[in-house]
A = this chain, B = another copy of it.
Amino acid sequence: MATATIKDVAREAQVSVASVSRALNGGRGVTAETSQRIREAATRLRYMPHAAARMLITRRTNTIGALLPDLYGEFFSELIRGIDLAARARGLHLLVSSSHDDAAAAAVALRAMQGRVDGLLLMSPHADAAFLRQNLPHDLPTVLMNTRLAGDDYCALSVDNDGGARMMVEHLLAIGHQRIVFIQGPPGNRDAGERELGYREALVSHAPDSPVIMLRGDFGEESGYRAGQEVLGMRPRPDAVFAANDMMAIGCMAALREAGICVPEEIAVSGFDDVPMARYVTPPLTTIQVHIAELGGQAMELLGEQIDHPDQVMTGIHRRVAAKLVVRGSTGAAPG
């Protein structure tokens, strides 16, 4: 027996398909008895409405799409959770798509969303104005997350990387550090760039005499380890390290530990993200906490607004998710 359709239910209940549709969608315009009979028939046949048919006629998929660079790791795990919870609260399904190595793959993914989703949450290195204009289904509500902005044509949401980085540098300066090394993220990475900018701004504002010292990194723990080794060779030795993310900070601490350097007594180390692991390393890592789930949740809220009120102009809105300084042991002591 194949899956029952609305026709089968209509036949079983001795009514028209129109009545079945009405009875099963709220029951307005059908007598209670008819409705009851239809429901029983539906249950008997194990009827499940065919989503695609409904999508086609109602122009509603009750699904939102999330195009992300990756699905793996703490960051995306939290992000997806935030999106999922907010979507669920609105009764929306979640279609995820990730790992579009190049613009062509991202374009295919974007185009495939047409007719599958009511709105799009987009985080992509390829998302510039021209790319979006070419590949985004027309009139599809979209919210950009942590993405290079395309003028004021879209609604966007991003983490306050700049503000967070400034907070961290101000903290390091406040406890007496002068020579603060910054370990960079991957070249071209927007978050990394904004964090670097915050570092520079804070030094300019509060410690114009402190040197700007950059080490290369790529957000991976290994690159932090290598940067830590470089720090060991620097003279005069820096008294603090600020890594553009936690994993590099953790790698850096490993390199310092191996060389017998005490953190935080000899060098303070700090990161950015507040990954769960940050509180478990020894010493626990001072970092900037960004409520990533909130980034996802707020993006979903903005998208929900757009979907519910298509006429309301929301392009050009750009919100920032606040960052928060979390001081732990790795910067716990003032320098000697």
B-binding residues in A (CB < 8 A): 1-3, 46, 48-56, 61, 63, 70-74, 76-78, 80-81, 84-85, 88, 93-99, 111-116, 134, 137-139, 250, 276-277, 280-282
Contacts and interface: CB of A to CB of B under 8 A. Distances in A.
B95 A99 contact: no
A103 B139 CA distance: 37
A72 B81 contact: yes
Contacts of A53: 52, 56, 115
Contact of A77 (B46, B71, B280): B71
Contacts of A48: 111, 114-115, 137
Contact of A277 (B1, B113, B276): B276
A112 B93 contact: yes
Contacts of A63: 95, 116
Nearest to A116: B51
A225 to B, nearest CB: 13
A98 B240 CA distance: 42
B96 A3 contact: no
A59 to B, nearest CB: 9
Contacts of A277: 276-277, 280
Closest 9 pairs (CB-CB, A-B): A51-B115, A50-B115, A52-B55, A48-B114, A77-B77, A72-B81, A51-B116, A52-B56, A52-B115
A114 B93 CA distance: 13
Given A53-B56, A116-B51, A72 B61 contact: no
A57 B4 CA distance: 16
B84 A99 contact: yes
A88 B99 contact: yes
A242 B55 CA distance: 51
A48 B137 CA distance: 7
A54 B56 CA distance: 9
A97 B88 CA distance: 9
A107 to B, nearest CB: 10
> Which has the most chain B C-beta neighbours within 10 Å: A61, A63, A94, A280?
A280
A227 B50 CA distance: 49
Contact of A2 (B61, B84, B116, B138): B138
Contacts of A46: 134, 138
A91 B6 CA distance: 31
Contacts of A71: 77, 80-81, 84
7 contacts: A1-B138, A52-B115, A63-B95, A63-B116, A71-B81, A85-B99, A95-B95
Contacts of A112: 51, 93
Residue of A2, A51, A56 with most chain B CB atoms under a 10 A cut-off: A51
Contacts of A115: 48-54
A98 B77 CA distance: 13
A61 B56 contact: no
A84 B96 contact: yes
